[in-house]
Every structure is written in structure tokens, then in C-alpha cells.
Structure 1
Amino acid sequence: HVLAPLKIIALAVLGIAAMLWPAGQPLPVSAGYSHLPFSSGFVNGYLTMDTLGAMVFGIVIVNAARSRGVASAHLLTRYTILAGLIAGIGLTAVYLTLFKLGSGSGVLVVPGAQNGAEILHAYVQYTFGAAGSGFLTVLITIACLVTAVGLTCACAEFFSEHTGIGYGKWVFLLGLFSMVVSNLGLSHLISISVPVLTAIYPPCIVLILLSFTLRWWHSSARLVAPGMLVSLVFGCLDGIKVSAYPDILTAWVDRLPLSAQGLAWLPPTLVMLVVAAAYDQSRGRQQISVL
């Protein structure tokens, strides 16, 4: 009831400042975004982890509604959709303002800036002066704390239901693990997370998209399972390509369709889904015999 409103207010202040007081003119577009704008933005969007977070926070939203006496499946679906729309609109506003902030703030940092945090820090220093660092510290602390609490609770609840370890122990273990990993540094974390996210994002995308079509099929598992499996396999190949060990892959991987764009998983996944859909339609509904 306190942290979330403070987070929204702090983000609003930063967003309004970015729109009203740009630091300078936009710099030339980098080579990757100049030649492959859509695929570069799409793949780099994995780093936001919004899709993964949405899958986890769905549990938090449903449990919050149930704790307030909402038991109807229809109402739970309605509230989840409303929460998703609100989150989508809010995230869109945040990213648009960050685009504006980043496009005009590159002049404040050296060309070799390692990550966007350096640009963000330079902007708040430029705009708010000495108080900028304090403002950014408060903003990041609140934003990360809200997200960390939600993710920790959701993950602890999930694992406690599927393992023999209690909820409290999972909260402690997840908190301890996060504390250790957070000390690796942002640039190091990004270098580790990029291959992992590149590998696991494709099956998550497939799962979410297919969830809107479950009523179309006689047995949705016939599409979901093979589609996610193929996307995971080829997603792992994309992940290895952007890791520190791309040389372990053979040359044929580079010749896969859309491999240069980091989307080598997409064509084989589409082919598998077409084949699986045809198989599902030909087999019809599963018949269960009672002996």
C-alpha cells in the first residue's frame, strides 16, 4: 500500500523530467539497430524479463484476489485481465519515457558506457544536480524492492507447493541467493543472463501465444508440448551464440533461417506447430476407454 504508490510517483517524476528537459539531441543509431531494428529490439527486449515476470506475477494477482474473497473463476479472470491492462499501459509509458531519456542523454557519457544505468545516472545528475544521485537511489531501491518482494513470494509459494520445503525456507533461500548474485555487478549479471534469457524466452512466448488458442484444438497438449520443446532446443542454440562460448557450435547453425537476427527458433517452431495442428485435427479428440 506504500511502496507501490511511491514507485509510481518516482517513475512519473523521472518520466516527466525526461520529456520536458532532454539532455541533448539524439545520437546516431548504433549499427545493430540500424540494420536490424525490429529483431534487435525484440531480442534485447528479453532483458526486461517482463514476460517471465508476468507469468509469475499472475499467481500473485490471483492469490491477492482470492484473499479478498473472490472465488468466481469469471471474476478472477476479469481482475487478472484488468491488472494486465493496467500493467501494460504503465510499462508502455515507462519505456517510452526511457526511450526519450536515453536518446538524448548519450552526450552525457563516454561512448564506451557499459550499460544503461550509466546513462540514467548521468541524466539525473545533469537534471537534478547533486540531489540526482539520491533521487535515483530511492527510485531504484523502491522499484527493485517492490519487484523482489512480489517475485520472492510468488516463487516461494510455487516451489513450496511442488517440493517438501516450506514457504518460509524458500523465502530465505531465494533471498539469500538474490543477495549473493546481486553483488556480481550489473554488467556481469547482464553477460550471464543474456544467454539464459535467449534460451528460455522462446518457449515462454510460445506458451503464452498458444494459451489464447487452447479452445481451437482437440488436445492442446499436442501443440504446446512439441512447440515449446522445439523452441527451447533452437533457443538454446541462439543462447550459445550470444554466450562466451559461441565456437562450440558448428557452421550450419549460422545458416539457419533468421539466425543472424537471433530468431533461429522461430521458423522450426512454426513448422512444428503447423505439423502438430494437422496431427491434432486428424486424430480428433482422445477417446478414453473404461475397462
Structure 2
Amino acid sequence: MKEKQLSKNEYLFISSMLFGLFFGAGNLIFPVFVGQQSGQNLWIGNLGFLIAGVGLPFLGVIAIGLSKSRGVFDLASKVNRTYGIIFTMLLYLTIGPLFAGPRSATIPFEIGIAPHIKASQHSIWLLLFSILFFTIVWLLAVKPTKILVYVGKYLNPIFLCALAILLLFVFIKPMGNFSDFPATSSYQNGAFMSAFGQGYYTMDALAGLAFGIIIVDTIKDLGITNPKSITKGIIYSGSISVILMGVIYTCLAYLGATSLGVFPHSGNGGAILAQVAQRYFGQFGSFFLAAIIVVACIKTAIGVTSACAKTCVEIIGRGSYKLYLTLGCVISCLIANVGLDQLITLSTPVLMLLYPLAIVLMIAACLEPTLNKYDLKVSIIYKWLTVLTLFSAIFDGLNAMPISIKNLAFAKNMLAFANHYLPLFNIGLSWIVPAALGLLMGLIFMIREKKIN
């Protein structure tokens, strides 16, 4: 009997689902901010953002497919099981109930609701909004087999249509010529690296690993059981998804850059979007934008809470999916009430620590099929890459801490060491050289191990 293959429609539905899980409110806000900051350096800034915001998430999707891992826990456990548990829990807590989950509620509130109510009433309205928001997320995520239907068939098309209307007006009636506006100081000579750093805030590289379990399960639910066919489905669907993400990111960056023809520089992309929507659609524009962002955030919140709940069941081995989903929604709802600015500030050090570790896991996973052909012990390269990258990532995370912590004696000594001995530390990429060294050492010790045996 011939094995079932995914149809074109099924590929499109999975791609739509993956795009919908990736593309939340942060993905709307950060490229717009990059565009406005870049000004006449729009294309080089956009390229930096695309590599971090599209290239790394795609690498994560490919990593899950090529390594034939069930999910991030399976992948991280190739370093060792203890590391796999710690890394996986940190990753899911970051993109779930501690940061990305709460952010998915605070962003639409700050943009769509807060401007229309008195400042003294923000706290109570944020509480009510976050309760309603995560109740909807729970209802849509409580049956994980329906995620493909909810996100791929309904929420994602609604979101894309609404966003397309706004972008259409931006291109038909542009607010200005981006080449007329100089870049801000950090984007004049370092547009690429500054924008690359903004790509970290989307958290999509982490999500690319985390959503692997959802994609694998969805493909299996469609009747595909052969590992090679599952890998093919992941990579093909991921390709379609990231191309669409790249196109939309570029359009949003253009929106941000051309907005300088009408509006001054803003502190965040959400404020820029609100101004642009109101310019084209008047007071209705604020509500229109709020609708776009609420749909975008619900999509992403469904993905992160569902993936987090599934992983808790797998790692802890006790409790049900529904229990962990409920806990995730409740915790996200409570933390959302600390406010957007605080969430972004608190998340930065964690992202600076986790991103490098996630990237080297992806690199090792993509090398794994080739290394297996030569009967090399791949766990060696996972260990070397992770240990040396972790060493430098700790310094990057410390450097992103609040100034009150950086002024402590031990922190000053560590940062002074990093500034002196770690290349690229000043731009938050001190992990690159140690990771390259780890890759080289891993290859040497793998070959040595094979010769000994």
C-alpha cells in the first residue's frame, strides 16, 4: 500500500498555521521600529532584521526536521538529559508564561485600548482585558488537534487580510520617501547589527524550536508516519512560511521608514503603527489596528501555551495537558499586568543568554545527518558547542541586566574581563568566536573518537 503524502492544500494549511504561530504582535512592532530607525539605510537594516527574524526561525524549523527530533527537549537532551530539561524549561517559560505569553496581551492593550481610557483606569482595564484574552486563548487551545483549523484556516487569513488593507494604503499613498530621512545614530554605521539585535526580541528563533512539536504532531494527525516524509513536510511548510514572513517584514519596515514623512521618531513600533493607522483611517484606524493586533496575538498565544503545556506533560510525566494549559494561561494573565515596558526590560537578559544556546543547537542539528553518514558520535559536537557558547552567553546576558546589577562589584569585574578578552562583546555577539571554536573542537574530538574505536 502506497504511503500517504501531504497534498498541496495540506502543505498550505500547515504553512499558514506555522506562520500564524510565529507572527504575533512583536512581529508587527519590531520591523516597523527598525524601518523608522534605519531611514535611508532601510535595506541594510531590513536585511539584518530578516536574518535574525526569519533566517534563524527557519533554521530552527529545519533543525527539528533534519535531526528527526520530536521537539526541543529531544534535541537539547543530545547535550545531556539534565541540560535538556533545564534548557527546555527555560525556553518554554520565556516564550510562554513569563514573557511572550504576557506580552501577547499587553501589546494589543497598550495600542488599542490604553489611548482611549484615562491613565488612572489602565490597571483595572488591563486586568479585565488580560482575563478575557487568556480565556479565549484557553478555549481555542484546549483541543490541540484543532489548532490547524483555528489558526491555519480562520485566524491567519483574517489577520493577513486586515494587515494587507493597511499596507495597501501605505504603498498607494506613501507618507514620504525613506531615502530623504537620515538614520538615527545607532543605525548610521551599524544598521545591520542594530537591526539584527531587534530580531532577538521577536523570540522567533526560540519559537522555531518550540513549535516543532506542534508541527510534527499536526503532520502525523494528517496520516503521515514515515520520518522522511515528516521531515519533508516540516521543511517545505517552513519554507513557505518564512518567505511570507520576510515579505511582510519588509513591507512593515517600509511603513516605518516612510512614516518619517509625517511623524517624528517614536520610542516603539506600536506607537508608529497607531499613528499610521489613524492617519489613513481616522479614529476607526485605532480600532482597526487593535483588531489586527488582537488576532495576531491570540494566534501566537495559542501556539506558545499549547507547546508549553505539551512539553510539561512530556518532561514532568505527571498531570494533564489541560492542567498545564490552564496554569500557563493563569500565570500569563497575572504577569501581563506588570506592563509592557517592564516585560521587555526583564526579557532582554534572558534572550541574550538563550538565543546563542538555541542557535548552536540548530547548527549541530543541521550538521547531524552529514555526521551520521560518517559514523561520527554527534553528541560530542553538541557538548563542545554548548559548553563554549554558554560561557560567553553568560557575559552577554549579564551585560543586558539593569544598571543597578551591572554596577555591583562582581558584575563590573566580569564585564571588564569580557570587554578585554571576548571579541564582539560590545555588540552583544561575544558567543560567535567561542561557538566557532567549539565547532572546531567538536569535529576534532569526533574524528579522534572514531579512530580510537
* Normalised TM-score (structure 2): 0.60
Structure 1 unaligned blocks of 5 or more: none
> Partner residue of 1:124?
277
Distance change >3 Å, CA 285–CA 78, structure 1 → 2: farther
How much does 1:131 deviate? 1.2
Letter in 1 for 2:412: L
The residue type paired with residue 116 of structure 1 is G
Counterparts of 1:131 and 1:165 in 2: how far apart (Å)?
A: 45
The normalised TM-score by structure 1 is 0.92
Matches of 1:137 and 1:174, distance apart in 2: 24
Give the Cα–Cα distance (whole angstroms) in 2 for the partners of residues 75 and 104 of structure 1.
44
User: Amino acid of the residue matched to residue 254 of structure 1?
Assistant: N
Aligned to 1:240: 398
- Structure 1 residues 2 and 285, CA gap change in structure 2 (3 angstroms): farther
Structure 1 segment 32-111 matched on structure 2, within 5 A: 32-106=186-260, 108-111=262-265
Q: Distance in 1 between matches of 2:437 and 2:367?
A: 17
1:252 corresponds in structure 2 to 417
Distance in 1, matches of 2:165 and 2:343, equals 28
More helix, by proportion: 2
2: distance between equivalents of 1:246 and 1:284?
45
Distance 1:149 1:184, change over 3 A: same
- For 1:109 and 1:230, the matched residues in 2 are separated by 45
1:275 aligns with 2:441: yes
Instruction: Measure the CA separation in 1 of the matches of 2:362 and 2:167.
Output: 30
1:185–1:23 CA distance, 2 compared to 1 (3 A):
farther
- SS of 2:289's partner is helix
- Of 297, 307, 313, the residue aligned with 1:144 is 297
Aligned-pair distance for 1:170? 0.5
Asked whether 1:261 is paired with 2:433, we answer no
> Does 2:340 match 1:199?
no
Aligned equivalents of 2:452, 2:167: Cα separation in 1? 53
Distance 1:184 1:25 in 2: 38
The CA deviation at 1:19 is: 2.7
Q: Take 1:149 and 1:143, find their aligned partners in 2: how far apart are those partners?
A: 10
- C-alpha displacement at 1:101, in angstroms? 0.8
Per-residue CA deviations over 1:82-114 (Å, capped at 9, x if unaligned) read 220111011101110111011122455554x33
- CA distance in structure 2 between the aligned counterparts of 1:277 and 1:206, rounded to whole angstroms: 14
State the AA in 2 paired with 1:50.
Answer: D
The root-mean-square deviation of aligned C-alpha atoms, in Å, is: 1.8
CA distance in 2, matches of 1:226, 1:144: 37
Q: Is contact 2:380–2:446 with CA below 8 Å preserved after alignment? A: yes
Whether the aligned pair in 2 keeps the contact of 1:156 and 1:167 (CA below 8 Å) is yes
Distance 1:108 1:241 in 2: 36
Instruction: Tell me the amino acid that sits aligned with residue 159 of structure 2.
Output: K
Change (3 A) 1:181 1:221: same
2:46 is matched with none
- The whole-number CA distance in structure 2 between the counterparts of 1:285 and 1:133 is 66
Report sequence identity in percent: 30
Deviations 1:16-39 (A, max 9, x none): 233333323433212222222222
How many angstroms apart in 2 are the aligned matches of 1:7 and 1:117?
Answer: 16
Partners of 2:320 and 2:451 in 1: CA distance: 39
| Distance in structure 2 (CA, Å) of the matches to 1:222 and 1:155 | 28
Q: Give deviations 1:49-89, integer Å, cap 9, x for gaps.
A: 11111112221111111112211112211111122011101
Aligned residues: 286
- Find the residue that maps to 1:22 and give its secondary structure: coil
Instruction: Tell me if structure 2 keeps the 8 A contact 1:152–1:174.
Output: yes
- Alignment of 1:187 onto 2:341: yes
Structure 1 window deviating more from structure 2 (269-278 vs 132-141): it is: 269-278
Question: Which deviates more from structure 2 when the two are superposed, residues 204-213 or residues 9-18?
Answer: 9-18
Determine the C-alpha separation between the residues in 1 that align with 2:333 and 2:259: 31
Match for residue 18 of structure 1?
170
- The alpha-carbon distance between structure 1 residues 209 and 117, as it changes in their structure 2 partners (threshold 3 A), is same
